[in-house]
């Protein structure tokens, strides 16, 4: 009887939607929001591989001390901006209309992309880089609107019995986009680096026009509410300080390999945390709060958000570290020139994408029938196993074994993502779906930023313990003067890691330019070859990557526990 009643409710809900918005509206909403999330995600990662071509085209060396900051902002500014604003946008969407703000975001994204593309032809040098950073921030601002509203629009458009499948497709686009960005960036930069910025222009314009013409406001707009200015400013300021401080924590400071001892980094993080505490008190007392903290009393919501954040840290760190592993060690050991390693690394990561693509829709569909807890929890357990299996691989691994393990990791991530998102979105009242989608996007974006900072720091610490002696001994053995070898061995590992990540030859970056002429030609050829640096760094890197994988396994394990504690299947208003 209960099953029949649920089917009757489902059919009635479906008929109401179709009579008002058309039989195919839900698929139009899914297609447009998926396009938006896909493009926004592609743009979050498309520069990682293509930065060398961009900087070379602009005539700027990104690895000189004065330009490292430009490199970081061009690389991470987009994600920082979108992370900071999505909760605010989600709240405003609940007040003024999700489709209205989604359309505005697509328009901002399209305008920012068009101006950014024009800048690549009109300017050169550091002026061009600064302007590109500004309009990458504009892109990130528009992308924040897309991230904040996509899941909410889908949840509004689909009946609860199909949300898992729809959100699964949308989630695939979001996570797949970050990997597609790596590959597309590498391909386009090899053809013409200007094309990297062109690709988002027609997609942005098409998506903006399409969304304006095709999407309808289904959600009930909450009128007569005031904007929580103090809460919005406090939250945005806190996140901005924390994320920027953590970003600068990646850079060396004084004699330290990282910037965590910098008073600016420490004070920024402390002030940011203090502002977050103040934000909680402000929201508990606000008449129309930016975010209703009482939503955390809904166990399916709070457990889903926590597991999302931890799983995102594990996934983001994995992707970032595996790329460094491939580009800095494995591919050069197999004869791939450093300049070609970025694109090849993206290609070698495809099994991870295939695993996610294979499992995402299946898990989303099954969660519609059986709930999210089993699938999301099992997905994180599979990730724990995958991280442990990666720890068994030598630095110079067999690719077949590596591909199989990351394929399994992709399956686990696909099994987790869609059911977890569906569980979170189903658990909250309809009038809070915009802010919920914004909060979900914030934690997802923040998890990516946190993962880079945490795992990069762990890797640098691991390398810092053993790399100096390996470099010194290896260089001296190749007839490099002891004084020069001493200088190189004392350089922070950050320089070598950034060089490898960007497709530069690490030894050419580390060696002082005025010392190269004094090294015998045969020895210099060996030092700058594809095998010298990877062989030197293999043992220190193995120590660092081991610590990274242990941390990732712990994060995934806690995420599995949090997912298991979400309770039985819960859909707001139906229990």
The DSSP code sequence of 491-558 is: S-HHHHHHHHHTT--HHHHHS-GGGGGGS-HHHHHHHTSTTHHHHHHHHHHHHHHHHHHHHHHHHHHH
Q: Which structure tokens are listed for 232?
A: 């919005």
Measured CA to CA, the distance from residue 312 to residue 347 in angstroms comes to 22
Interior angle at CA 398, CA 396 and CA 403, nearest 5: 115
- Looking at residue 363, what is its pLDDT? 86
Q: Which residue intervals of 192-333 are DSSP H helices?
A: 195-198, 200-214, 229-248, 263-285, 299-325, 331-333
Q: Yes or no: say if 143 and 177 are a contact pair by the CB < 8 Å rule.
A: no
Q: Yes or no: say if 260 and 267 are a contact pair by the CB < 8 Å rule.
A: no
Give strand pairing partners of 256. 253
Measured CA to CA, the distance from residue 465 to residue 129 in angstroms comes to 35
- Looking at residue 17, what is its pLDDT? 63
Measured CA to CA, the distance from residue 79 to residue 446 in angstroms comes to 8
- Looking at residue 501, what is its pLDDT? 72
What angle separates helix 125-157 from helix 98-122, to the nearest 10 degrees? 160
- Looking at residue 394, what is its pLDDT? 93
The domains of the chain are located at 18-217, 228-287, 463-543
- Looking at residue 491, what is its pLDDT? 78
- Residues contacting 139, CB < 8 A, separation 6+: 43, 78, 109, 112, 113, 116, 200
Dihedral pair phi/psi, residue 256, rounded to 5°: -90, 150
Q: Which structure tokens are listed for 170?
A: 């949308």
Measured CA to CA, the distance from residue 412 to residue 433 in angstroms comes to 26
Is the pTM higher than 0.95?
no
Q: Yes or no: say if 442 and 305 are a contact pair by the CB < 8 Å rule.
A: no
Place of tokens 């406090």: 234
Residues of the chain with confidence (pLDDT) below 70 = 1-19, 21, 220, 222-224, 317, 569-575
- Residues contacting 267, CB < 8 A, separation 6+: 245
Note the pLDDT tens digit of each residue in 459-512: 887 777 778 888 889 889 988 888 888 888 887 777 777 777 777 788 888 888
Dihedral pair phi/psi, residue 410, rounded to 5°: -60, -40
Q: Yes or no: say if 238 and 273 are a contact pair by the CB < 8 Å rule.
A: yes
- A 10 A CB-CB count for 502 gives 24
Q: Yes or no: say if 556 and 384 are a contact pair by the CB < 8 Å rule.
A: yes
Task: Give the CATH number of domain 18-217.
Answer: 1.20.1250.20
- Looking at residue 8, what is its pLDDT? 58
- Quick one: how far is CA 127 from the chain centroid? 27
Longest dimension (CA), the chain: 87
Q: Which structure tokens are listed for 33?
A: 């929001």
Note the pLDDT tens digit of each residue in 501-560: 777 788 888 888 888 888 888 988 999 888 988 888 888 888 888 888 898 999 999 999
Q: Which helix (H) or strand (E) holds 79?
A: helix 68-96
Reduced to 3 states (helix: H, G, I; strand: E, B; else coil), residue 570 is: coil
Q: Yes or no: say if 88 and 141 are a contact pair by the CB < 8 Å rule.
A: no
Dihedral pair phi/psi, residue 253, rounded to 5°: -140, 120
- Residues contacting 213, CB < 8 A, separation 6+: none
Reduced to 3 states (helix: H, G, I; strand: E, B; else coil), residue 397 is: coil
Give strand pairing partners of 253. 256
- A 10 A CB-CB count for 67 gives 16
- Residues contacting 384, CB < 8 A, separation 6+: 553, 556, 557, 560
HSE-CB for 149 with a 13 A CA cutoff: 34
Measured CA to CA, the distance from residue 177 to residue 346 in angstroms comes to 12
């Amino acid at each position: 009887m209960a099953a029949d009643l649920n089917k009757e409710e489902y059919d009635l809900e479906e008929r109401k939607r179709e009579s008002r918005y058309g039989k195919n509206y839900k698929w139009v909403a899914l297609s447009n929001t998926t396009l938006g999330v896909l493009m926004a995600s592609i743009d979050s990662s498309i520069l990682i591989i293509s930065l060398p071509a961009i900087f070379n085209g602009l005539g700027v060396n990104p690895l000189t001390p004065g330009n490292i900051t430009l490199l970081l902002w061009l690389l991470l500014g987009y994600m920082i901006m979108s992370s900071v604003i999505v909760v605010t946008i989600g709240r405003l969407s609940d007040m003024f209309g999700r489709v209205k703000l989604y359309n505005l975001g697509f328009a901002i994204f399209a305008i920012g992309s068009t101006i950014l593309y024009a800048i690549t032809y009109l300017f050169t040098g550091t002026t061009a880089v600064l302007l590109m950073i500004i309009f990458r921030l504009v892109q990130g601002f528009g992308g924040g609107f897309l991230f904040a509203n996509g899941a909410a629009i889908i949840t509004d458009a689909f009946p609860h019995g199909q949300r898992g499948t729809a959100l699964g497709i949308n989630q695939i686009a979001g996570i797949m986009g970050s990997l597609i960005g790596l590959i597309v960036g590498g391909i386009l930069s090899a053809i013409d680096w200007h094309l990297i910025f062109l690709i988002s222009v027609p997609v942005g314009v098409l998506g903006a026009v399409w969304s304006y013409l095709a999407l309808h406001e289904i959600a009930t707009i909450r009128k007569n509410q005031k904007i929580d200015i103090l809460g919005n400013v406090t939250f945005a300021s806190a996140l901005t300080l924390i994320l920027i401080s953590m970003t600068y924590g990646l850079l060396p400071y004084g004699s330290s390999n990282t910037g965590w001892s910098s008073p600016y980094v420490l004070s920024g993080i402390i002030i940011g945390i203090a502002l977050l505490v103040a934000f909680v008190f402000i929201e508990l007392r606000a008449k129309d709060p930016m975010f209703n903290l009482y939503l955390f009393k809904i166990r399916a919501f709070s457990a889903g958000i926590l597991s999302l954040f931890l799983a995102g840290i594990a996934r983001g760190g994995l992707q970032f570290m595996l790329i460094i592993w491939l580009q800095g060690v494995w591919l050069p050991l197999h004869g791939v020139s450093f300049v070609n390693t970025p694109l090849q690394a993206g290609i070698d990561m495809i099994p991870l994408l295939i695993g996610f693509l294979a499992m995402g829709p299946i898990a989303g569909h099954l969660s519609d029938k059986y709930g999210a807890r089993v699938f999301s929890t099992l997905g994180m357990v599979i990730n724990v196993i995958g991280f442990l299996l990666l720890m068994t691989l030598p630095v110079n691994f067999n690719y077949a074994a590596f591909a199989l393990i990351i394929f399994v990791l992709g399956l686990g991530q696909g099994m987790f993502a869609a059911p977890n998102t569906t569980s979170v979105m189903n658990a909250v009242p309809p009038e809070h779906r915009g802010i919920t989608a914004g909060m979900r996007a914030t934690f997802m974006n923040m998890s990516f930023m946190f993962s880079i900072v945490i795992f990069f720091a762990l890797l640098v610490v691991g390398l810092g313990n053993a790399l100096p002696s390996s470099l010194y001994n290896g260089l001296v053995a190749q007839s490099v003067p002891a004084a020069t070898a001493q200088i190189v061995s004392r350089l922070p590992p950050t320089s070598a890691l950034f060089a490898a990540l960007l497709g530069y030859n690490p030894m050419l970056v580390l060696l002082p330019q005025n010392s190269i002429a004094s090294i015998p030609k045969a020895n210099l050829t060996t030092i700058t070859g594809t095998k010298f640096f990877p062989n030197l760094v293999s043992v220190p890197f193995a120590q660092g990557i081991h610590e990274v994988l242990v941390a990732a396994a712990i994060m995934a394990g806690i995420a599995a526990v949090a997912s298991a504690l979400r309770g039985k299947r819960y859909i707001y208003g139906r229990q």
